[in-house]
Amino acid sequence: MIPRIHQQGSNTLGLLHYLYGKGTHEEHIDPHLVASFDGMAPDPGRDPSATKKDLQHLLDQTLSLLDADRRPDKHVWHCSVRAAPDDPILSDEQWGDIARRMVAATGIDPGDGAGCRWAAVRHADDHIHIIATLVREDGRRPDHHRSGKRAQAECRLIEKELGLHRVAPGDGTAAKRATSAERHKAERVGRERPAREELRETVRRAVAGAGSEGEFFDRLAAAGLLIRKRVAPSGDLLGYKVALPDDRNGEKEPVFYAGSTLAPDLSLPRIRERWTLAAEAASADGARPEQPVLPEVTGPAFARRRATAATWQALLIIDHGDDGAAAAQIAAAGEVLDALAKTSAAHTRAELREAASVFERASRSHIRAVRGHDRALRQAARDLVHSGPALGRGEDGATTAMLIDMAFFLAIAAANWHARKHHSQQAAAAQQAAEHLRAAYQAAAAESMAVLRQRGQRLAPRVRQRQADLLHEVLPDLASRVQAEPGWPALAATLDDARKAGHDPAALLTEAAGRRELGTATSISDVLVWRLRRSAYLPALREPPHDTPARGSRRQGSPAPRALPTQGGPNDPSRRR
């Protein structure tokens, strides 16, 4: 059950016209009163002799208790309470009781006999609207400070008592939701989402992996946003606002939103933290001669390999690091998801966008992220953006599947971390993002896993048996389950590839299985395939033999292959911390 305290207004009759009207799309059905301050208020919905003016006059009578210059300019209090889609339809009596509890909890009518005058209108099965005048019967103003939080707390009690869908309690770190006026405007002009939500996503993507203010604002401009900067007399930049070119107000002027009103971490000072602290960390690292320098990213597939390695390191920090470092990794994971959604092929883009969108809620909590610790993940996001779009097939497609597989486990780790901290909304958001990533993985991996499975099925019987024996030796408790999975032939092919590349398959498999639990994986064999191919630096999808150039030659027009870092060597990304 979701309560929403709307902005205070000054037009009681105007709000009543809306509540008793047909609605923007004639969605208001049988508007009628379910409760009021004295139980005797006129109901213009079902009483033919009552008018909206009668109800407005009754509600606003307490204003006459004050001199005209002492009356509040914004005297109309408005709260809506909405049930969850899967909740049963409540009766008028139940909604009336909910309304009385809400005005008592928020301080509008605390039950002392001198509260504000109010009325509750129901014009749909799943919600009510409560309208009140913010002057009590004794002429004083009500104590409705923090009425939103008080309403939320009361709704949690109501859900428990009535057996309704239990909504996770918030902690005040969520981005501001679009107002009803913004939602109605979007519907009216045929926009899929309110402008606020579209701007939030665009700004978030512009931040992902950006290395400076100049790059950030260039990305905003390239996305087609209008930008208004707030500059101090000294010339220093203090803040920014953005607008959609076609989102206009009644005067045909663009409607601008400040970054801080889109989301708490999109204010300019909070965005700057990512750059300044990352630069300080880089400077500190530069003073250490043993810090490895990774080669420059040269394409989408290589960027995805690097991002996979950075994601694995982030998993370890979330599991074992301090709270500030873990919060930074989770925040930066959102940037990786944004960059991945922006650069991946069409058949995975929708699920990746949904994953990035819902994970945004998981990226903020009251535990402040210690920036600088997230440098590897932020660099991974930057690499993904600058390497350009990836194809959905071949090595690009396979390394995309590899990265999404790792991102799934990162989302699970974030959900578990938030759950341990009792961040229920963030934990739920991370879990939801993991489900979208699971669906994106299935789309991304379908072709490459099919190729690997075919290769595994073509292995000689003695080779297949050798890999099966190895599996039972290293993972005796999981071997039967793995062999029953469709992905087992792909794992067998991967183990054979590792042997041919000079690795010890038993050692690699032991390490891959011990890195992290496998119980949450839909397919253990798939997970092991990507872990083995990443740690052994095997091609994510080896080219078929008939496409492989003869030794010592290259296909005409093909660039020379760039050497990947050697596992365990100084440029191995898995060694970075």
What pLDDT does 533 receive?
A: 92
Taking the C-alpha atoms of residue 380 and residue 181, their distance in angstroms, rounded to an integer, is 39
Q: Is there a contact between 359 and 429 (Cβ–Cβ < 8 Å)?
A: yes
What pLDDT does 521 receive?
A: 76
Where does the pLDDT of residue 544 fall: very low under 50, low under 70, confident under 90, or very high at 90 and above? low
What pLDDT does 98 receive?
A: 97
| Sequence-separated (6 or more) residues with CB below 8 Å from residue 160 | 166
* Closest C-alpha to 420, from 320, 517, 337: 320
The angle that helices 524-535 and 488-500 make with each other, rounded to 10 degrees, is 20
What pLDDT does 173 receive?
A: 82
Question: In the predicted model, is pLDDT for residue 392 greater than 60?
Answer: yes
What pLDDT does 278 receive?
A: 54
Q: What is the pLDDT of residues 419-457, one digit of tens each?
A: 999 998 999 999 999 999 999 999 999 999 999 999 999
Taking the C-alpha atoms of residue 435 and residue 433, their distance in angstroms, rounded to an integer, is 5
Q: Is there a contact between 301 and 396 (Cβ–Cβ < 8 Å)?
A: yes
Question: In the predicted model, is pLDDT for residue 571 greater than 60?
Answer: no
Where does the pLDDT of residue 576 fall: very low under 50, low under 70, confident under 90, or very high at 90 and above? very low
What pLDDT does 568 receive?
A: 39
What pLDDT does 37 receive?
A: 95
Angle at 130 between CA 125 and CA 136, to 5 degrees: 160
Listed as own residue / partner, the contacts of 267-270 with beta carbons closer than 8 Å and 24 or more positions apart are 267/239, 268/237, 268/238, 268/239, 268/240
C-alpha of 498 from chain center = 37
Strand partners, 116: 136
Structure tokens given for 418: 């938030």
Where does the pLDDT of residue 566 fall: very low under 50, low under 70, confident under 90, or very high at 90 and above? very low
Where does the pLDDT of residue 575 fall: very low under 50, low under 70, confident under 90, or very high at 90 and above? very low
AA identity, residue 135? V
Hey, which of 292-296, 373-377, 480-484, 534-538 has the most confident mean pLDDT? 480-484
Where does the pLDDT of residue 409 fall: very low under 50, low under 70, confident under 90, or very high at 90 and above? very high
Task: Count other C-beta atoms under 10 Å from residue 34's C-beta.
Answer: 22
What pLDDT does 86 receive?
A: 87
Question: In the predicted model, is pLDDT for residue 562 greater than 50?
Answer: no
pLDDT, average across residues 392-397:
89
Taking the C-alpha atoms of residue 28 and residue 21, their distance in angstroms, rounded to an integer, is 7
Taking the C-alpha atoms of residue 20 and residue 50, their distance in angstroms, rounded to an integer, is 12
Percent of the chain with pLDDT over 90: 68
The average confidence (pLDDT) of the chain is 87
What pLDDT does 350 receive?
A: 94
Question: In the predicted model, is pLDDT for residue 550 greater than 80?
Answer: no
Tell me the backbone φ, ψ of residue 131, rounded to 5 degrees. -115, 135
Structure tokens given for 60: 């606003």
Structure tokens given for 363: 């990226």
CATH class of 2-162: alpha beta
Question: In the predicted model, is pLDDT for residue 567 greater than 50?
Answer: no
- Higher pLDDT residue, 543 or 192? 192
Taking the C-alpha atoms of residue 500 and residue 254, their distance in angstroms, rounded to an integer, is 62
DSSP letter at 110 equals -
Task: Count other C-beta atoms under 10 Å from residue 2's C-beta.
Answer: 15
What pLDDT does 207 receive?
A: 93
pLDDT, average across residues 350-374:
91
Where does the pLDDT of residue 213 fall: very low under 50, low under 70, confident under 90, or very high at 90 and above? very high
What pLDDT does 563 receive?
A: 39
pLDDT, average across residues 548-569:
39
Q: Give me the torsion for CA of 191, 347, 379, 375, rounded to 10°.
A: 80
Where does the pLDDT of residue 297 fall: very low under 50, low under 70, confident under 90, or very high at 90 and above? low
Question: In the predicted model, is pLDDT for residue 466 greater than 60?
Answer: yes
- Indicate the range of 233-237, 276-280, 290-294, 467-471 predicted with least confidence: 290-294
pLDDT, average across residues 485-501:
94
- Higher pLDDT residue, 23 or 264? 264
Transcribe 148-191 into DSSP letters: HHHHHHHHHHHHHHHT---PPPP-S-SPPPPPHHHHHHHHHHT-
What pLDDT does 295 receive?
A: 52
Total-model pTM: 0.74
What pLDDT does 359 receive?
A: 96
Residue ranges of the domains in the chain?
A: 2-162, 191-266, 297-544+563-575
Question: In the predicted model, is pLDDT for residue 368 greater than 70?
Answer: yes
What pLDDT does 296 receive?
A: 59
Transcribe 304-373 into DSSP letters: HHHHHHHHHHHHHHHHHS-HHHHHHHHHHHHHHHHHHHHHS-HHHHHHHHHHHHHHHHHT--SS---TTT
- Indicate the range of 275-279, 315-319, 531-535 predicted with least confidence: 275-279
DSSP letter at 257 equals E
What pLDDT does 188 receive?
A: 85
Listed as own residue / partner, the contacts of 73-76 with beta carbons closer than 8 Å and 24 or more positions apart are 73/10, 74/8, 74/9, 74/10, 74/134, 75/8, 75/10, 75/12, 75/133, 75/134, 75/135, 76/8, 76/9, 76/10, 76/11, 76/12, 76/15, 76/131, 76/132, 76/133, 76/134
What pLDDT does 274 receive?
A: 83
Where does the pLDDT of residue 24 fall: very low under 50, low under 70, confident under 90, or very high at 90 and above? low
Question: In the predicted model, is pLDDT for residue 346 greater than 90?
Answer: yes
AA identity, residue 385? V
Taking the C-alpha atoms of residue 87 and residue 163, their distance in angstroms, rounded to an integer, is 9
Question: In the predicted model, is pLDDT for residue 519 greater than 50?
Answer: yes
Q: Is there a contact between 281 and 378 (Cβ–Cβ < 8 Å)?
A: no
What pLDDT does 26 receive?
A: 63
Q: What is the pLDDT of residues 241-268, one digit of tens each?
A: 999 999 998 889 999 999 999 998 899 9
